[in-house]
Structure 1
Amino acid sequence: MRIPFAGNVRLVALAATTALTLTTLAACGGSSDSGSDSTSLEMWTFKQSHVGALRAAAEQFKEETGITVKIEAYTPDDVYATKVQSSAKTGNLPDVLEVHSDGEDFVFGAAGVTADLQDQIPDSWSGRFQEAIKASGTVTAQKFKESQAKDSTFKGVEQDQRFSVPLTAGTFGIVYANKRKLAEAGITKAPATWEEFLEALEATHHKDPKTGGVSLGLKVKATGLTWVLQPLAYAQLGKENYGKLFGEDKAGDFSSTNGNKVLSMYDEITPYWMPGSQSLTIDEADQAFAQGKSAFAVGGTFTLAFLQQNGMKADDVLAFGMPSPKDGAIPDRALGPIALTGLSLTATSEQPENAKKWMEFLSGTDVAANFAKESADLPATELGAALTSMMESFKGTPETTYDPNLNDFRPPGYDQDRAGEVLADLTPLGKDSPAGTGGKLSELIRNYWTTQ
Structure 2
Amino acid sequence: MHTSYPVSPFSGSSSPPPSGRSSPPRRRARLAALGLAAVLSASALSGCGSASGADSSALTMWTFKQSHVAGLRAAAAEFERKTGIQVTIQAYTPEDAYSIKVQSSAMTGDLPDVFEVHSDGEDFVYGAAGIVEDLSGQIPASWNNRFNPAVRQSGTVTQDKYDQSLPVTSTSHGAKKGARYSLPFTIGTFGIVYANKAKLAAAGITRPPATWEEFIADLKKTKAKEPRTGGLSLGLKVPSTGLNWIGQPLAFAQLGKDGYEALYGREKSADWGSPNGTEVLTAYDQLTPYWMPGTQTLTIDDADQAFAQGKSAFDVGGTFTLAFLQEAGMKADDILAFGLPAPARGTVKDLALGPIALTGLALNGSSPREDQARRWMRFLSEPDVAARFSKAASDLSATELGAEAADVLGPNLARLMETFKGTPENTYNPYDTSFRPPTLDMDEAGAPLIDMSPLRQTDPARTGLRLRRLLESYWKAAK
Give the TM-score, by structure 1 length.
Answer: 0.90
- Mapped partners of 2:297, 2:41: distance in 1: 37
Residue from 388, 412, 422 that aligns with 1:396: 422
**What is the CA deviation profile of residues 179-218 of structure 1, one whole-angstrom value per residue up to 9, with x for unaligned ones?**
1101112222211111111111122112212211112233
CA gap 1:151/1:242 in 2 versus in 1, 3 angstroms: farther
Shift of 1:425: 3.8
Per the alignment, residue 262 of structure 1 pairs with 280
CA contact (8 A) 2:37 2:172 kept: no
**What is the CA deviation profile of residues 312-336 of structure 1, one whole-angstrom value per residue up to 9, with x for unaligned ones?**
2222221111011111111222222
Matched, 1:81 2:99: yes
- Mapped partners of 1:93, 1:418: distance in 2: 40
CA gap 1:148/1:440 in 2 versus in 1, 3 angstroms: farther
- Mapped partners of 1:357, 1:217: distance in 2: 41
Matched, 1:36 2:54: yes
**Bigger shift: residues 400-409 or 416-425:** 416-425
Shift of 1:440: 4.3
- Mapped partners of 1:170, 1:272: distance in 2: 27
Matched, 1:271 2:289: yes
**What is the CA deviation profile of residues 233-258 of structure 1, one whole-angstrom value per residue up to 9, with x for unaligned ones?**
10011011111122233332223322
Matched, 1:14 2:17: no
Residue from 284, 307, 327 that aligns with 1:309: 327
- Mapped partners of 1:14, 1:312: distance in 2: 32
In structure 2, give the amino acid aligned to 1:451. Answer: A
Per the alignment, residue 6 of structure 2 pairs with 3
| Pairing of 1:112-191 with structure 2 (within 5 A) | 112-147=130-165, 154-191=172-209
Shift of 1:296: 0.5
- Mapped partners of 1:298, 1:339: distance in 2: 20
Residue from 381, 384, 390 that aligns with 1:363: 381
In structure 2, give the amino acid aligned to 1:362. Answer: L
Shift of 1:364: 1.0
Shift of 1:443: 4.3
- Mapped partners of 2:162, 2:287: distance in 1: 37
- Mapped partners of 1:148, 1:241: distance in 2: 35
Per the alignment, residue 117 of structure 2 pairs with 99
In structure 1, give the amino acid aligned to 2:211. Answer: T
| Pairing of 1:292-441 with structure 2 (within 5 A) | 292-385=310-403, 386-387=405-406, 388-421=414-447, 423-441=449-467
CA contact (8 A) 1:216 1:297 kept: yes
CA gap 1:97/1:419 in 2 versus in 1, 3 angstroms: farther
Per the alignment, residue 302 of structure 2 pairs with 284
Structure 1 SS opposite 2:48: coil
Structure 2 SS opposite 1:109: helix
Shift of 1:151: 7.8
- Mapped partners of 1:20, 1:147: distance in 2: 13
Shift of 1:54: 0.2
Shift of 1:91: 4.0
CA gap 1:73/1:202 in 2 versus in 1, 3 angstroms: same
**What is the CA deviation profile of residues 52-106 of structure 1, one whole-angstrom value per residue up to 9, with x for unaligned ones?**
0001111122223332222111233333333334434444332222122233333
In structure 2, give the amino acid aligned to 1:389. Answer: R
Shift of 1:420: 3.4
**Bigger shift: residues 244-253 or 203-212:** 244-253
- Mapped partners of 1:424, 1:31: distance in 2: 50
- Mapped partners of 1:375, 1:422: distance in 2: 37
Shift of 1:4: 3.0
Matched, 1:216 2:243: no
Per the alignment, residue 239 of structure 1 pairs with 257
In structure 2, give the amino acid aligned to 1:231. Answer: P
**Bigger shift: residues 17-26 or 253-262:** 17-26
Quote the RMSD (CA, aligned, Å): 2.6
- Mapped partners of 1:135, 1:435: distance in 2: 41
Give % identity. 59
**What is the CA deviation profile of residues 1-38 of structure 1, one whole-angstrom value per residue up to 9, with x for unaligned ones?**
23335342331231242243233575352245323234
CA contact (8 A) 1:215 1:297 kept: yes
Matched, 1:65 2:83: yes
- Mapped partners of 2:443, 2:167: distance in 1: 16
Per the alignment, residue 198 of structure 1 pairs with 216
Aligned residues: 452
**Bigger shift: residues 212-221 or 85-94:** 85-94
Shift of 1:426: 3.6
Unaligned 5+ runs, structure 2: 11-24, 407-413
In structure 2, give the amino acid aligned to 1:107. Answer: V
Structure 1 SS opposite 2:261: helix
**Bigger shift: residues 269-278 or 433-442:** 433-442
In structure 1, give the amino acid aligned to 2:419. Answer: S
Shift of 1:348: 4.3
- Mapped partners of 1:109, 1:5: distance in 2: 24
- Mapped partners of 2:213, 2:349: distance in 1: 11
Give the TM-score, by structure 2 length.
Answer: 0.86
CA gap 1:33/1:106 in 2 versus in 1, 3 angstroms: closer
- Mapped partners of 2:415, 2:30: distance in 1: 37
CA gap 1:67/1:407 in 2 versus in 1, 3 angstroms: same
Structure 2 SS opposite 1:160: coil
Matched, 1:451 2:451: no
Structure 2 SS opposite 1:230: helix
- Mapped partners of 1:404, 1:42: distance in 2: 34
**What is the CA deviation profile of residues 365-417 of structure 1, one whole-angstrom value per residue up to 9, with x for unaligned ones?**
22112212222222111221204133222232210111224333234344434
- Mapped partners of 2:419, 2:177: distance in 1: 32
**What is the CA deviation profile of residues 227-286 of structure 1, one whole-angstrom value per residue up to 9, with x for unaligned ones?**
111110100110111111222333322233222322232232233222333333333322
